[in-house]
Amino acid sequence: DGGITQSPKYLFRKEGQNVTLSCEQNLNHDAMYWYRQDPGQGLRLIYYSQIVNDFQKGDIAEGYSVSREKKESFPLTVTSAQKNPTAFYLCASRGMEPRGYTFGSGTRLTVV
C-alpha cells in the first residue's frame, strides 16, 4: 500500500541539539510538506518542496532546515536556533489531480 512514513514517532531533544525527522513516501508525489501542530492551533507550514532539489520556506521556517535529494524523501532538521521546538510535526505529500493531501502519522518532539 502506498503511503507516507514518518519516524521516529517520539523524539526527545536536549537543549542546543539538532535533530532530524524523517519523512518517506512511496506515492510518487512531487510535492511534499512539513507542518507544525500546537495544541488548539491549526497547522502551520514550515517548508515545502514541489520538486527534487528545490524547496521553499513556509510561514514559520526560522530554526528549521530541509533537503530534497530524492523524490521519496523530505527530512526536516530542527536546529538549536528553534527556541520552542516542542510540538507535533506532520509530513504530507500532494499528487497531481485532484491534488489532495496525504499525511503521515506524525512525530512528537519534546525538549528535555
Partner 1 sequence: KQEVTQIPAALSVPEGENLVLNCSFTDSAIYNLQWFRQDPGKGLTSLLLIQSSQREQTSGRLNASLDKSSGRSTLYIAASQPGDSATYLCAVSTSTGGFKTIFGAGTRLFVKA
DSSP 8-class letter at 62: T
Contact status, residue 46 vs residue 38, Cβ threshold 8 Å: no
Among 11, 13, 108, 111, binds partner 1 (CB under 8 A): 108
49 binds partner 1 (CB under 8 A): no
Nearer to partner 1, 16 or 98 (CB): 98
**Closest distance between partner 1 and the C-beta of residue 102, in Å?**
7
Give the three-class secondary structure for 23.
strand
d(CA 59, CA 70) in angstroms, rounded, equals 24
Among 11, 22, 30, 43, binds partner 1 (CB under 8 A): 43
Nearer to partner 1, 82 or 107 (CB): 107
39 binds partner 1 (CB under 8 A): no
Q: Name the grid cell of 35.
A: 507542518
